[in-house]
Structure 1
């Protein structure tokens, strides 16, 4: 009895659901970021804010082995300035883990949001 009542109420709710109009307030075009050491960037459909993945170099120009990638936002929707990721964004969305490659000078990178895909970061 409970299951059939739940099912009917669920169907009534689904029948009244309206599709969300996602065209209002969304950007019509996205800016392309430019940094000297950019590896890649991610943009979402929510706004123009962009997550940047830069190569993290030490003062002498070598890659920082403890933290080879610097991940941060460029807040195009506000002031266009860099902004650090929050802890939860680094841990569950845009962060990464890395390990040194055994036979080469480089790193294997895993994005936390998609750890099945490995990225090899090898100097050229």
Structure 2
């Protein structure tokens, strides 16, 4: 079963993302900030990370920078309300596999789910 780690400080957003992802047989874990997410990345070893940018303690950009320095290859999808082009470019520079904007509408949900699956498959992220 493929494993996904959601890192977002908003309980509402984590639940919304989990609801979308629950349409597939994913094992899902959650972290409330980047620091907690880094610890879970090591112990949980997910096939994909869904990452928010604006969070307390350690934000998403710091998380991306840290994982890049560590040579982490787990695909990271940034899901953010920050629509600034500079933020988008910085996420790409730091190795994000994709950047999507929230909130996701019901129409966006299916496309998001397809994108997650495509990214996991393209990175060879199938768990055994």
Could you say which TM-score interval applies, normalised by the shorter chain? under 0.3
Compare relative contact order (CA 8 Å, sep 6+) and give the higher one, 1 or 2: 2
TM-score by length of 1: 0.25
Compare the two structures and name the one with the higher strand fraction: 1
What TM-score, normalized to structure 2? 0.24
Q: Which has the larger radius of gyration?
A: 1
Q: Greater share of helix residues, 1 or 2?
A: 2
